[in-house]
Structure formats: structure tokens, C-alpha cells
């Protein structure tokens, strides 16, 4: 089998079955459907049609481009990470994931994955604000 190739195609020109498969996948991901059979039925397609296309059709997510990782070194004091989270909240960032290492020499490495589509400040200003929080040794966008 050759290299997999992808196309970005307007859904309006595709057969309706493709949209129904995306709809069924949405039911499964949201938990509205507990099985592929139930999701296919809710979307109005046969189970066999769903299984034929389920691993080949994906909805394009425009928001994926604004996902950013912030790496920071924080002093192991109560409230430092909370203050960083609050600054992200105030900027309008959507926090997707937080990973923190066990502190070594009183410093913890933290990686925060955020979606910045609703932020009111530039990434440079956001990092600057985070760096000014007491207990933050460093912060950078990666």
C-alpha cells in the first residue's frame, strides 16, 4: 500500500453518507451513543455503512491551529500553579491539559496545553504576565 494522501473537501459536494458517518462519530465521542450500532441508527445509516467509512472520514477542526503548549518552571510553593491558571483564565485561554513533574530542588517543570482562540492578549504578553507571577522561574511557548 502506498503513502496515505489526504484531501480537504467541502462537504457539500460529497455524498450524504460521509456527513452521517461524521455525525455518528460525534454521537460516540459525546457519549450520546454507547455503541457503534446505536450511533449509526441515530445518524440514520446502516451499521455496515458506518463501519465501512468510520476509520477514513474525519471532520476538519479549524481550532487545532491555535493549540499551544506552555512550558514553565515553578517554585514548589502553594498557589503558584493556581496563579498561572488564573492568569490563563483571565486572558481567555481554554486549558486543555496540565502535566507537572515532581519538584526537584524545589522546582517543578509544568507543561500546560491551551487553546488560544478566545484570548484577549498576544502570546508574548501572556508569557510576560506569567513570568511576572511570584514563584515562576521561567515560561515559554513551545
For residue 27, how many C-alpha atoms fall within 13 Å in the half-sphere facing its CB? 22
pLDDT greater at residue 63 or residue 106: 106
* Span 55-86, pLDDT tens digits: 888 887 665 567 889 999 999 999 999 999 99
Q: Residue 22 pLDDT > 80, yes or no?
A: yes
Average pLDDT over every residue of 45-61: 88
Q: Is the pTM of this model over 0.85?
A: no
Domain 63-141 CATH superfamily = ACT domain (3.30.70.260)
CATH 3.30.70.260 residue ranges of the chain are 63-141
Q: How many CA atoms lie within 13 A of 113 on its CB side?
A: 7
Q: Buried b / exposed e across 78-97, counting CB within 10 Å, b at 16+? A: eebbebbeebbeebebbeee
- In which order are the strands placed within the sheet that holds 136-141? 94-100, 107-115, 67-75, 136-141
What is the chain's length? 142
Q: Is pLDDT of 18 > 70?
A: yes
The pLDDT, as a whole number, for residue 65 is: 60
DSSP state of 99: E
Helical packing angle, 80-91 and 123-131, nearest 10°? 150
Query: Quick one: pLDDT band at residue 1, thresholds 50, 70, 90?
Result: low
Q: Is the pLDDT of residue 115 over 90?
A: no
Better-predicted residue by pLDDT, 120 or 20: 20
Beta strands in the chain (DSSP E): 67-75, 94-100, 107-115, 136-141
User: Which of 74, 50, 66, 43 has the alpha carbon at shortest distance from 118?
Assistant: 66
Amino acid at each position: 500500500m502506498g503513502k496515505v494522501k489526504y484531501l480537504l473537501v467541502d462537504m457539500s459536494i460529497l455524498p450524504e453518507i460521509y456527513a452521517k458517518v461524521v455525525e455518528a462519530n460525534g454521537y460516540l465521542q459525546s457519549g450520546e451513543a454507547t455503541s457503534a450500532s446505536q450511533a449509526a441508527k441515530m445518524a440514520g445509516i446502516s451499521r455496515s455503512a458506518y463501519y465501512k467509512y468510520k476509520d477514513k472520514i474525519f471532520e476538519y477542526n479549524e481550532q487545532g491551529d491555535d493549540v499551544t503548549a506552555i512550558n514553565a518552571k515553578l517554585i514548589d510553593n502553594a498557589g503558584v500553579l493556581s496563579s498561572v491558571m488564573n492568569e490563563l483564565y483571565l486572558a481567555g485561554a481554554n486549558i486543555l491539559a496540565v502535566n507537572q513533574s515532581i519538584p526537584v530542588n524545589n522546582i517543578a517543570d509544568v507543561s500546560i496545553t491551551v487553546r488560544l482562540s478566545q484570548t484577549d492578549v498576544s502570546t508574548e504578553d501572556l508569557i510576560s504576565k506569567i513570568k511576572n507571577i511570584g514563584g515562576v522561574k521561567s515560561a515559554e511557548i513551545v
